[in-house]
Amino acid sequence: MKRNTLLFAILLSVPVGLFLLQHYFYHSPELYPTGFTVDENVLYMSYARQYNDQPAFSLFYSNPFDGDPASPRIYFQPVNLLLAALIKTGADPGLSFSLFGLLMTILCVYTGLLILRHLLGEQKNQGLISLLFTWGGGFTALAGFGALLFLPGQTAPAWLDAIHIADPASGWWGLNWGRNLFIPLEAWYHFLFLLNIYLLLKQRWAAGLFTAFFLSISHPFTGIEYLLIINGWLFFEKIVYKNKTIPYKYWAGIFLVTLFHTGYYLYYLNRFPEHRLLFSQYSAGWTYSLRIAMAAYLIVFVLSFFALRINKRNPILSQPHQRLFLCWAVIAFLLSKHEWFMQPLQPVHFTRGYIWAGLFLFSLPVLAWLLNTWKSPYRKVVLALLIIFFLADNVLWTYNVVHKKDVAEWEGHITRETRDVLNYLGKETTVNDLLTGNAALVNYLSNVYSPANAWISHPYNTPDRAGRKTVMEHYLLTGEKPAAWNKRRILLLLDRKYAGGMAIHSSLLKNKIFENNRYSLFIP
């Protein structure tokens, strides 16, 4: 049975595998795949590289986008130790990261199958229900088409791109569960989240407490989301429903993990000026409208509504796990709209399929009843439409991603010239080197492929990026070295593709150490 479940999990993970194959084999011949299938993936391998560039081993690492090797080592996520070890062996960073994501996708899907099997017992159609849980969605694609046809001012590069109109960030925020599996670290976080839920359902309290702590130190957003959901559920279970099967020790442990989580991420890290600058940049009002929420969650919301209404002799909220799923969905939704209550800290970051998955599992009894018990002359038509609507979002989105051929350079596909300069930086630089200049793509990727530190890199992880840009522009114009750069070897990298109108003092261009058809590298 376990072998069959694992094979089915691998089968359900095929869309992510196709996405990875498309990245490597379907692109312009002038471009080289890096393995970074999403631009944000560069962040995580940059963090991992910090371990290999440290003069002495430490469990904690510094912000690689600070530009200073002496930046305080205050960050820790356990997965970065594994990724650092892969880099240390000489494995390609992007390929390693993507293969890790594919493995986590399989484990996440497998854990979801275990949860469904636990909830459904011997009921029929578990394979179909598993497919709907893994790759189901809502009406965002259809809402996008409707907006393009009927709302003024809506445009799309191609007709199929209209599916993104009602799906934030072209669907990359993952409002349904399966969409997040295309992002390696999200597949990891979602696996940990489901593992925690599975352990709760199996009443394995000690293991559940350990994995809750592990999730907490793995990611600030997913960690606090899970902890608030569980604390809310435990309040109702112990105070309102007097549930004696849950040990008070477990609630006390979860409460302590929650204190640790908030203490580390909100108090300890903010004691450091470097992190306070990042925290102010993280405090972005990224949110989504209720119209988009309705499109994303309408199917599972309607099913959940009927779950509350049917079977009055055995109310659905009489079962602890159903109360857990309802708390999961409600608290995740409130977190995703927390701009209603406080200064927003990227509210949309709390969507990530968690609201959708909570509602799906809460409505599972109704879905199983529709598939296995419901008798109606319209049964086949209704179920066929339900399945089509469930899968439409991800089928259309996946096709739209996979069928497009990359022809422009970005973090995932780079030119020969960019590859060559990164290879040079990887071989010829040290952690004391400070990379400046206008080559934004190289400044970002250099944190993965070289020990050099870039003065300006990622827009949200570079502290005071606007101020740093002013400092660098003054340096390029006057040749006057800022005091913050003392005792550093300065590297000036110029990308001729974007150099038009850029004023650079002649004294900075005398010592050229590398050049190709696009880039020139100087030591001023």
Q: Name residues whose C-beta falls within 8 Å of residue 450's C-beta, 6 or more positions apart in sequence.
A: 422, 425, 426, 429
Give Cα separations from 248 to 195, 224, 236, 262, 365 (angstroms).
21, 20, 13, 21, 29
Q: For position 314, what pLDDT does the model report? A: 64
If one counts every other C-beta atom within 10 angstroms of the C-beta of residue 57, the result is 7
Q: What is the pLDDT of residues 103-123, one digit of tens each?
A: 999 999 999 999 999 999 999
**In this structure, what token pair is assigned to residue 388?**
């089509």
The structure tokens 């909830």 sit at 119
The structure tokens 């960073």 sit at 93
Q: For position 277, what pLDDT does the model report? A: 85
Q: For position 501, what pLDDT does the model report? A: 67
Phi-psi region of 430 (alpha: psi -120 to 50; beta: other; left: phi over 0): beta
Q: For position 310, what pLDDT does the model report? A: 75
Q: What is the pLDDT of residues 81-107, one digit of tens each?
A: 999 999 999 999 999 999 999 999 999
Identify which has the larger pLDDT, 15 or 504: 15
Q: How many helices (H) and strands (E) does the chain have?
A: 20, 7
CA angle in degrees (0–180, nearest 5) for 367-369-303: 35
Is residue 81 classed as helix, strand or coil in its secondary structure? helix
The structure tokens 């469904």 sit at 116
Where do the structural domains in the chain lie, given as residue ranges? 101-402, 413-522
Mean pLDDT, the chain, whole residue set: 93
Distance between CA atoms of residues 280 and 117, nearest Å? 44
380 CB-contact burial (10 Å; exposed 0-12 / middle 13-18 / buried 19+) = exposed
Q: What is the pLDDT of residues 20-69, one digit of tens each?
A: 999 999 999 999 999 999 999 999 999 999 999 888 888 999 999 988 88
Indicate the DSSP class of residue 211: H
Q: Report which of 124, 3, 194 is spatially closest to residue 383, judged by C-alpha positions.
A: 124
Q: What is the pLDDT of residues 257-313, one digit of tens each?
A: 999 999 999 999 999 988 888 888 777 788 999 999 999 999 999 999 999 887 666
341 CB-contact burial (10 Å; exposed 0-12 / middle 13-18 / buried 19+) = exposed
Q: What is the pLDDT of residues 395-414, one digit of tens each?
A: 999 999 999 999 999 999 99
Q: What is the pLDDT of residues 485-503, one digit of tens each?
A: 988 999 999 998 886 667 8
**In this structure, what token pair is assigned to residue 183?**
């992002």
pLDDT band for 204, please (50, 70, 90 cuts).
Answer: very high
Which percentage of the chain shows pLDDT scores above 70?
Answer: 98
Task: Say yes or no to pLDDT of 153 above 80.
Answer: yes
Which amino acid is present at 204?
Answer: R
Q: What is the pLDDT of residues 315-334, one digit of tens each?
A: 778 899 999 999 999 999 99
DSSP per residue, 358-419: HHHHHTHHHHHHHHHT---TTHHHHHHHHHHHHHHHHHHHHHHHHTPPB-S-BTTEEEHHHH
Q: What is the pLDDT of residues 420-442, one digit of tens each?
A: 999 999 999 999 999 999 999 99
If one counts every other C-beta atom within 10 angstroms of the C-beta of residue 249, the result is 11
Give Cα separations from 505 to 112, 193, 478, 479 (angstroms).
59, 53, 6, 6
Q: For position 322, what pLDDT does the model report? A: 95
pLDDT band for 172, please (50, 70, 90 cuts).
Answer: very high
Which amino acid is present at 390?
Answer: F
In angstroms and rounded to an integer, the radius of gyration of the C-alpha atoms of the chain is 25
Phi, psi dihedral angles at 55 (to 5 degrees): -65, -30
Residue ranges of E strands in 15-144 = 31-33
